[in-house]
Structure 1
Amino acid sequence: MKPILNPLNLPLKPAYKNYYIPIKTKFLISHFGAFLWMCFTIYLAFPWLKDLAHIVSFPLALLIIGGISYIPGYMNAFLVISLLLDRQPSFKNEFPTNEITILIAAHNEEDKIYQTLKYIDKQDYQGKIKVFVINNCSSDQTVKEALKAKEELTIEIKVLHEETPGKFNALNQALKVVTTPYVITIDADTLLHPSSIRYLVARMESSPAEVCAVAGSVLTKNSRENLWTKIQEWDYFLGIASIKRLQGLYQGTLVAQGAYSLYKTECINEVGGWPDAIGEDIVLTWRLLQKNWKVYFEPLAVSFTEVPSTLKHFVRQRARWARGMIEGLAEIKPWNQPQAYVKYLTGINLIMPYLDLTYTLCWIPGLIVSFFGFYWIVGPMTLLVLPLTLISFGILYFYQRNFVFKPLNLRIRKNFIGFIFFVLGYQMIMSPVSVYGYIQELFKFKRNWK
């Protein structure tokens, strides 16, 4: 998605502002609709279940089809219905002036750090912005580029040094000198829409006192680099953004991602800063939620990040995310979360390894043997999933286009080829990569942050 960097200074009109459905009612309606949908799919898939049971036994057939059809269908229906009912609250003050601090942990980012700082300098935010660039064992000209930005840009920039490797070490070093009530973390390759910080702070200022963090919206900035980045563009635009909206609706965004999120400084200090974990932002967010605080998501606080352009780097990134989820589950069990919605949302993560394993070990082999005429797991009937998938993506696309991109004066790039590959093949890569991440965490493989 190509950013057109023109700040927006128009108040947004909330849709259906005179009609409000309580969150509990939305939750129940969404589950009821998802349950009806699952019952319908079970009815349609009964012949499939019966045929597979003759080959592998009924319990195993139920386990396989449940993992690749029943449960994913239920979750997808719950997501779509919830998003149809979602109405983002309006801002109480769209132009806050709170003083904020931005933390950027940088390791060998000489080719990116200046541009990132330049985009921060272009913000239409009216409050004071302090930026700490934390040099974490860089061996290139990262520090030189940061000091150059300090001389040429108008924002206040300070370069700190942390000699112990690890992003969490760099962030915790900077946290010691943060004096502002809010702190924002940004990756060194993240570019911000000119109104991004304003909307992020406005969402925090418009939220109840128990909200401790707000996750920003992260999209791709290098989607035209190759086919691989084109595919990921749709994952960020439709998949990740939709999951964030769902979780934000139920006041429990599970990852205030380090790439771009805002936190209350006192809350970060109370949980001891960023943890020593490969998924430091995941574990941190779950610790905040365990304190009975809430985490929101602001879709208008748009940022653009550089996604992996090779399969090798993609595997490292997503395996790291999968490991981070397991780290979070190991430290804080869903039933130990104090909020009901967070119990449910984190509980979903408990079944993700089962779904990924089923998809990897059953669906993919089933697809392969179907080309030879064996339709035990994948057959013509599974093509019925495609129209339903396209309908759900159409709903998500409509929201992003009309309620995020149009108000921000952004243009959606034409990327039909990437969309086709995203719909047809993305999950066949994602599930095995996630399984690889689970194995890494199970056997405590060496951590790789990059």
Structure 2
Amino acid sequence: MKPTFNPINTRINNEYKNRFYIPIKTKFWISHFTAFVWMCFSIYIALPWLKDLSHIVSFPIALLIIGGISYIPGYMNAFLVASLILDRQPAYKNEFPSDKITILIAAHNEEEKIYQTLDYIDKQDYQGKIKVFVINNGSTDQTVQETLKAKKQLSMDIEVLNEEKPGKFHALNKALALVTTPYVITIDADTLLHPSSIRYLVARMKSSPNDVCAVAGSVLAKNSRENLWTKIQEWDYFLGIASIKRLQGLYQGTLVAQGAYSLYKTECIQEVGGWPDAIGEDIVLTWRLLNKKWKVYFEPLAVSFTEVPSNLKHFVRQRARWARGMIEGLNEIKPWNQPETYVKYLTGINLIMPYLDLTYTLCWIPGLILMFFGYYWIVGPMTLLVLPLTLISYSILYFYQRNYVFKPLNLRIRKNIFGFIVFVLGYQMIMSPVSVYGYIQETFKFKRNWK
């Protein structure tokens, strides 16, 4: 990819400026009303399903099961769809900021990837000065040597730090103490940046109100052609995670400024004490920032590509870690203690995620098996009503990603039809049990595993 100094389509930005403005509060309630109407419709047409299941397991249990696999997910999907339709990304005030920034890269045994990551940073079209700290976190391979090679061959200011204490938060906090720039960016050692990525990330921060303390970048799958497993995850990052980020960004409360690629105001991170001692350090950090009445935005044009797990073992570790991080955040800061209304709601949704994942794992999956033997007690024709809404939401996001992100950035969406079909029909059957496994790990305080 060649750096593109003006990939954004000015006409698109002007369209956003000229369209009738709907306040965020109005969007919030319109989306909820739409979701409520959809749920009422779903409940009405599913009454026979509820009646039949009640004869088998009793009415309260039937309501609990159907609520967890149909009513609540349907409500949440409808709210998501309505919010995405109403979402309008504000135009930049300045597309070419030149503020000094510092990039932190925590690296543990990354000899095969660190040079390429640094090379992509060096090719950015960002006009400001970039300082890079690579924090060697107990590597036993050639990570340091590869970093020194990049320091010699590339034009950036690169400095190697050593932190022997295991844990990403230790590495990041060591470097944070040396940061002197107003903004700091974290990037994973295997993350590659689009040539204009940093420019758009900083531009979004510079175009935001003063109470915005962080901007999460857009993270997509880099190794999606490796096997079927990575092809499925490509759609999760491209549609699933991106849609949630857009929803949260619309309501000014992106719940995770992910460590893989995000920008923060240095003074804000320092004020909350840096990265916490947590397996989901980026989740807990973000919630601490939100608890200070600061806002966290999302910038879809700040695109990066990260290496996703290519086998089930590593996938389970990663997603269980994310689930544990969510529980850590809930344990530290309860949703009702968040000062902003939208953040109370967004973090409050996480309170019901264990219930939804448990219901899906213990009821939907067994119900699906029973369906193949002709028993439609749990899974049947009525449950398919969730599928059209899911496809609608993915279609809306696909249209947005294609026309307002990939096309301006001169990127092309790979053809991956089979991966999409498996993603829509079977991905959740893997995700929910893995999340439940993560909840169990955190409940019983299992040993942490960052990799």
Given the two structures, how large is their TM-score scaled by the length of structure 2?
A: 0.98
In structure 1, what is the equivalent of residue 180 of structure 2? 179
Alignment deviations for residues 230-256 of structure 1 (CA, whole Å, 9 cap, x no partner): 000000000000100000000000000
Percentage of identical aligned residues: 85
Q: Cα offset for 1:10?
A: 4.5
Equivalent residue number for residue 409 of structure 2: 408
Q: Does the 8 Å contact 1:196/1:301 carry over to 2?
A: yes
Return 5+ residue gaps in structure 1 as ranges.
none
Work out the CA distance in 2 between the residues paired with 1:265 and 1:384: 46
Matched with 1:7 is 4
1:157-184 Cα offsets, whole Å, 9 max, x none, are 0000001110000000000100000000
The residue aligned with 1:263 is 264
Residue equivalent to 1:342: 343
Q: CA deviation at 1:5?
A: 3.9
Encode CA deviations 1:334-383: one digit per residue, 9 max, x unaligned.
00000000000000000000000000000000000111111100113323
Q: Following superposition of structure 1 onto structure 2, how do residues 349-428 of structure 1 map, counting pairs within 5 Å?
A: 349-428=350-429
SS in 2 for 1:17: helix
Report how far residue 392 of structure 1 moved: 1.9
Q: Give the CA deviation at 1:436.
A: 0.1
Q: Is the 8 A contact 1:6 1:409 kept in 2?
A: no
Matched with 1:78 is: 79
Describe how 1:161-180 pairs up with structure 2 within 5 A: 161-180=162-181
Change (3 A) 1:138 1:93: same
- Equivalents in 2 of 1:83, 1:115: separation in Å? 35
Shift of 1:308: 0.1
Quote the offset at 1:8 in angstroms: 4.1
C-alpha distance after superposition, 1:383-430 (max 9, x if no partner): 333333222211111011011101111000000010000000000000
- Number of the residue aligned with 1:138: 139
Superposed, 1:177-326 pairs within 5 Å as 177-326=178-327
| CA distance in structure 2 between the partners assigned to 1:59 and 1:45 by the alignment | 15
User: What is the letter of the counterpart of residue 325 of structure 1?
Assistant: M
Cα distance per residue 1:2-44 (max 9 Å; x no partner):
xx44424145332342211000000010000000000000011
Q: What's the counterpart of residue 17 of structure 2?
A: 17
Report how far residue 329 of structure 1 moved.
0.0
Please list the CA deviations of residues 176-223 of structure 1 after superposition, one character each: whole Å capped at 9, or x if unmatched.
100000000000000000000000000000000000000000000000
Preserved contact between residue 8 and residue 407 of structure 1 (Cα < 8 Å):
no
Contact 2:226 2:310 in 1 (8 A): yes
Cα gap change, 1:206 to 1:415, in 2 (>3 Å): same
Q: Superposed, which structure 2 residues align to 1:430-445 within 5 Å?
A: 430-445=431-446
Q: Distance in 2 between matches of 1:46 and 1:17?
A: 45
- C-alpha distance in 1 between matches for 2:352 and 2:410: 39
Following TM superposition, by how much is the alpha carbon of 1:280 offset from its aligned partner in structure 2, in angstroms? 0.0
State the partner residue of 1:40: 41
Q: Give the structure-1-normalised TM-score.
A: 0.98
- What's the secondary structure of 2:411's corresponding residue? coil
Separation in 2, partners of 1:106, 1:10: 31
Q: 1: CA distance between counterparts of 2:302 and 2:339? A: 28
| Distance in 1, Cα, partners of 2:350 & 2:385 | 26
Letter in 2 for 1:409: N
1:328 aligns with 329
**AA matched with 1:252:** G
For structure 2, the 5+ residue unaligned runs are: none
Output one character per residue of 1:59-114: Cα deviation in whole Å (capped at 9) or x when no partner.
00000000000000000000010010000000000000000000000000000000
**3-state SS, counterpart of residue 212 of structure 1:** strand
Q: Does structure 2 conserve the Cα–Cα contact (< 8 Å) formed by 1:103 and 1:174?
A: yes
Amino acid at match of 1:404: V
Does 38-47 or 14-23 show the bigger shift? Answer: 14-23
Distance 1:190 1:26 in 2: 34
Measure, in 2, the Cα distance between the counterparts of 1:7 and 1:157. 24
How far off is 1:271 after superposition?
Answer: 0.2
2:216 maps to a residue whose letter is A
SS at 2:134's partner residue?
strand
Per the alignment, residue 98 of structure 1 pairs with 99
Question: Structure 2: how far apart are the matches of 1:129 and 1:403?
Answer: 27
SS at match of 2:391: helix
- Report how many aligned residue pairs link the two structures: 447
**Could you tell me how far apart the structure 2 residues matched to 1:407 and 1:149 are?**
30
**What's the Cα RMSD here?**
0.8
| Counterpart secondary structure, 1:131 | strand
Please state whether the residue corresponding to 1:133 is helix, strand or coil: strand
Output the amino acid matched with 1:342: V
183-192 vs 16-25, which moves further: 16-25
- 2:186 and 2:166 map into 1 onto residues whose CA distance is 18
Counterpart in 2 of 1:154?
155
Tell me, yes or no, if the aligned pair for 1:8 and 1:408 is still in contact at 8 Å: no
Q: SS of 1:246's equivalent? A: helix
Say if 2:136 and 2:171, in contact at 8 Å, map to a contact too.
yes
Letter in 2 for 1:211: V
Give the Cα–Cα distance (whole angstroms) in 2 for the partners of residues 10 and 240 of structure 1: 24
Q: Is the Cα contact below 8 Å between 2:16 and 2:91 reproduced in 1?
A: no
Q: Distance in 1 between matches of 2:191 and 2:277?
A: 23
Distance in 1 between residues matched to 2:387 and 2:97, nearest whole Å:
44
